[in-house]
Amino acid sequence: MILHIDMDAFFASIEQAINPKLKGKPLIVGSRANRLYTVVCAASYEAKALGIDSGMPTKEAFSICPDLAFVPAQQGRYIWTSEEIFKLLKGYGFEIAYASIDEFQMDIQDTPNPENLAKEIRKGIQDSFKITASIGIAKNWILAKLASKINKPNGIAILNEANLEQTLAKIPAQKLCGVGLKTGLFFNDLGIKTCLELYQKPADYLEQILGKNGLNFYLSLHSNERFQTQEAEEKPKSVGHSYTFPRASENTGFIRAWIRLLSEMVARRLREQNLVSKTVYLWLTGPKIGNFKAQKTYREATNDAHDIFHRCLKIMAKTGKNKPKIRALGVTCSGLEKACYLPLFKEQKRREDLLKAVDKINARIGEDTLYPASIELAKSMK
Ligand SMILES: [Mg+2]
């Protein structure tokens, strides 16, 4: 069985845990510091209840709720918490993988009583970080991910043979990961409205209407595929992170902030494993650009988020669109090598020492007191 652990309103909950005065209040996390001229990066459940969600201009959010609490995004905090949760989950002794900054997948094999384990994990996260998670349990990652949404927030749901069909019949097809609005409407036209109707379609039918993607989709739904991102824990061929927005955004600042954050997460994992990467791969999904994917290989390998971010921006320029509307995005580094070369340039050496010092301090103190990313981010968004 697979457990899909999805943090509830992750960024907003972290801010509420740090500052208890914000608990129970409608709160938004802005993608930059100027409260009236930015975009909602995350919203607390109290704000979501008012119809406020990520991707919305903050001005609009304040017009819905003038008393809204506002905190500028603290990327360092979120990455740190995400990595600490990953470590905590690893402690349970099962193989785990990142599905997103706030989503984790765990292969619990045939552990008896998976619901008890899920409860224990949920409590462990709550005790350590004062934030909640929702957990889905199913035979593969895609169904487990779907299950995690059923009793959100702070809920657990299991999809097993006894309840699978009955539950899938109640969920619109659009809720399945990978379906989205456009494909959802397409399915709707074909008379496929629920997850169950989709689940019951034979492989050749899905292949006929969606091509190779349809076949892959069928396999994900019916096989025992364990993780969303196929990444070996021990010797990775690539290191990547991705994120899906609740709705598409064409706000360049918001999108760039996310590319920066994902680059930072990827870079930190490369450094942790003493790796450098030559190839940066960026994928973007949006209503007009479809699935845009491109990669670029450089002669100089890097594990510096600043470089990875700028390499991503160059790749993004290849979309040929000035302001592409984006729904989901991912940054992956491949072409990995051991980071054992001697730095040739003084500047390079200086940056490496700086990064090492930052990682060391962050690892020791835990909190991200030192964080070059936000400075770079602010600069890049001016
Ligand atoms: Mg979440």
CATH at residue 15? 3.40.1170.60
Identify whether residues 187 and 280 lie together within a single domain.
no
Distance 207 CA to ligand 1 centre (A): 31
> Is the pLDDT confidence value at 368 over 70?
no
> Is the pLDDT confidence value at 357 over 80?
no
> Where is the domain boundary, 41, 75, 109?
75
Look at residue 168 and tell me if it is in a domain: yes
**pLDDT recorded at residue 191:** 93
pLDDT averaged over the chain? Answer: 86
199 vs 5: CA distance, rounded Å: 22
Identify whether residues 280 and 190 lie together within a single domain.
no
Strands, sheet with 290-302, edge to edge from the N-terminal-most edge strand = 238-249, 326-338, 275-286, 290-302
**pLDDT recorded at residue 342:** 44
**For residue 333, which of 358, 298, 359 has the smallest C-alpha distance?**
298
Distance 195 CA to ligand 1 centre (A): 21
**pLDDT recorded at residue 364:** 64
**pLDDT recorded at residue 20:** 92
- H/E stretch holding 3 reads strand 2-7
Distance 103 CA to ligand 1 centre (A): 6
Distance 288 CA to ligand 1 centre (A): 25
**pLDDT recorded at residue 235:** 52
Whole-Å CA distances, 211 to 159, 218, 281, 283, 284: 28, 11, 24, 20, 20
Q: What are phi and psi of 274, to 5 degrees?
A: 55, 45
When pLDDT is cut at 50, 70 and 90, the band that residue 133 belongs to is: very high
- Residue range 331-344: mean pLDDT, rounded: 73
> Is the pLDDT confidence value at 358 over 80?
no
Question: Can you state the angle between helices 372-380 and 252-272, rounded to 10 degrees?
Answer: 150
**pLDDT recorded at residue 373:** 44
Better-scored residue on pLDDT, 180 or 28: 28
Residue 87 contacts by C-beta under 8 Å, 6 or more apart in sequence? none
Look at residue 265 and tell me if it is in a domain: yes
- Residue range 231-241: mean pLDDT, rounded: 66
Distance 6 CA to ligand 1 centre (A): 5
**pLDDT recorded at residue 156:** 98
**pLDDT recorded at residue 288:** 86
Identify whether residues 243 and 375 lie together within a single domain.
yes
Distance 338 CA to ligand 1 centre (A): 33
Look at residue 112 and tell me if it is in a domain: no
> Is the pLDDT confidence value at 49 over 70?
yes
DSSP code, position 173:
G
Whole-Å CA distances, 283 to 102, 235, 330: 19, 23, 5
Which of 15, 46, 83, 103 is catalytic? The answer is 103
User: Which domain does 218 fall in, by range?
Assistant: 162-230
Look at residue 102 and tell me if it is in a domain: no
- Residue range 48-59: mean pLDDT, rounded: 90
- Residue range 178-199: mean pLDDT, rounded: 88
> Where is the domain boundary, 75, 95, 126?
75
**pLDDT recorded at residue 362:** 65
pLDDT tens digits, one per residue of 22-42? 999 999 998 777 888 888 889
Q: What percent of the chain has pLDDT over 70?
A: 87
Identify whether residues 212 and 258 lie together within a single domain.
no
The CATH number covering residue 172 comes to 1.10.150.20
- Residue range 287-315: mean pLDDT, rounded: 91
Identify whether residues 275 and 357 lie together within a single domain.
yes
Look at residue 135 and tell me if it is in a domain: no
The CA-to-CA distance between both ends of the chain, in Å, stands at 47
Q: What percent of the chain has pLDDT over 90?
A: 55
Per-residue exposure over 85-101, b if at least 16 CB sit within 10 Å of its own CB, e if not: beebbeeeebebbbbbb
**pLDDT recorded at residue 372:** 44
Using a cut of 0.85, tell me whether the model's pTM lies above it.
Answer: no
Q: How many other β-carbons are positioned within 10 Å of the β-carbon of residue 43?
A: 26
**pLDDT recorded at residue 77:** 86
> Is the pLDDT confidence value at 113 over 90?
yes
Distance 17 CA to ligand 1 centre (A): 16
Distance 45 CA to ligand 1 centre (A): 11
> Where is the domain boundary, 230, 248, 274?
230
- Residue range 262-276: mean pLDDT, rounded: 87
**pLDDT recorded at residue 352:** 63
Look at residue 36 and tell me if it is in a domain: yes
Identify whether residues 186 and 274 lie together within a single domain.
no
Identify whether residues 359 and 246 lie together within a single domain.
yes
Identify whether residues 305 and 371 lie together within a single domain.
yes
> Is the pLDDT confidence value at 233 over 60?
no
When pLDDT is cut at 50, 70 and 90, the band that residue 230 belongs to is: low
Specify the number of domains making up the chain.
3
When pLDDT is cut at 50, 70 and 90, the band that residue 101 belongs to is: confident
Identify whether residues 223 and 245 lie together within a single domain.
no
- Residue range 47-63: mean pLDDT, rounded: 91
The CATH number covering residue 305 comes to 3.30.1490.100
Look at residue 149 and tell me if it is in a domain: no
When pLDDT is cut at 50, 70 and 90, the band that residue 179 belongs to is: confident
Distance 349 CA to ligand 1 centre (A): 38
103 is catalytic: yes
pLDDT tens digits, one per residue of 134-146? 999 999 999 999 9
Identify whether residues 262 and 365 lie together within a single domain.
yes
- Residue range 59-83: mean pLDDT, rounded: 91
Per-residue exposure over 317-355, b if at least 16 CB sit within 10 Å of its own CB, e if not: eebebeebbbbbbbbbbbbbeebeeeeeeeeeeebeeeb
Identify whether residues 167 and 280 lie together within a single domain.
no
Identify whether residues 217 and 275 lie together within a single domain.
no
> Is the pLDDT confidence value at 97 over 80?
yes
